């Protein structure tokens, strides 16, 4: 091992244990105050759990929402374990709900909340490094409509060559 690599390994060995709180791996999060996000984040958090739906164009669909990162991020895993698996994350930036969609199209559009109603949240594309909305096919927006505690509707918006393209009809998910 050369000297710079040895020094880096030694520094990591000394520094990393100081970031830990002891034998209990949950002690650090227990010491943190509970996370309280924006009203829109808290609304989105009501979707935590497993959901299923049937689409006339895509067939049976499953998605799951869970909170991660000290309850400050909502993770949505769509079609887990299939070739269509995708991941979306939702978190607040300066008190405003944002979304990043890790798409099967191999891009990661970022979206911001642009509209809220008493029962819906609508996201639209925000500037995204490496994505050219004038030519790249991508998810451009989404509206989540909260029908009741056990049902929500998802309507996606896709773009290709700078214009909206069919994304399929809105789909109603049911809590499992």
Delineate the domains of the chain, giving CATH numbers in brackets.
1-32 (no CATH), 37-175 (2.40.128.20)
Q: What is the pLDDT of residue 8?
A: 44
Q: What is the pLDDT of residue 32?
A: 85
Contacts of 62 (CB under 8 A, 6+ apart): 50, 51, 52, 53, 78, 79, 80, 176
Tokens encoding 100: 């990043």
**Separation of alpha carbons 7 and 60, rounded Å:** 54
In terms of pTM, does the model score above 0.85?
no
Determine what percent of the chain is predicted with pLDDT higher than 90: 77
b/e per residue 57-94 (b: at least 16 CB within 10 A) = eeeebbbbbebeeebebbbbbbeeeeeeebebbbbbee
Q: What is the pLDDT of residue 73?
A: 98
pLDDT tens-place string over residues 97-119: 999 999 999 999 999 999 999 99
Q: What is the pLDDT of residue 143?
A: 98
pLDDT tens-place string over residues 16-36: 444 555 556 556 666 889 999
CA dihedral (158, 161, 163, 168) positive or negative = negative
In terms of residues, how long is the chain?
176
Q: What is the mean pLDDT of the chain?
A: 89
Q: Between 121 and 13, whose confidence is greater?
A: 121
Q: What is the pLDDT of residue 14?
A: 41
pLDDT tens-place string over residues 70-79: 999 999 999 9
Q: What is the pLDDT of residue 3?
A: 64
Q: What is the pLDDT of residue 11?
A: 46
Q: What is the pLDDT of residue 166?
A: 87
Tokens encoding 1: 């091992």
């Amino acid at each position: 091992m050369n000297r710079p690599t040895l020094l880096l390994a030694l520094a990591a060995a000394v520094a990393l244990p100081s970031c830990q709180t002891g034998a209990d791996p949950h002690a650090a999060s227990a010491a943190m105050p509970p996370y309280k996000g924006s009203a829109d984040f808290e609304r989105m958090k009501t979707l935590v759990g497993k959901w299923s739906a049937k689409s006339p164009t895509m067939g049976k669909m499953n998605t799951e929402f869970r909170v991660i990162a000290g309850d400050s991020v909502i993770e949505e895993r769509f079609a887990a374990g299939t070739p269509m698996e995708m991941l979306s994350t939702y978190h607040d930036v300066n008190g405003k709900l944002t979304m990043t969609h890790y798409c099967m199209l191999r891009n990661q559009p970022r979206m911001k909340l642009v509209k809220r109603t008493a029962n819906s949240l609508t996201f639209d594309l925000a500037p995204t490094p490496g994505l050219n909305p004038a030519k790249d096919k991508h998810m451009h927006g989404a509206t989540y409509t909260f029908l009741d505690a056990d049902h929500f509707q998802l309507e996606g918006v896709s773009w290709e060559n700078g214009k909206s393209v069919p994304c399929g009809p809105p789909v109603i998910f049911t809590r499992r």
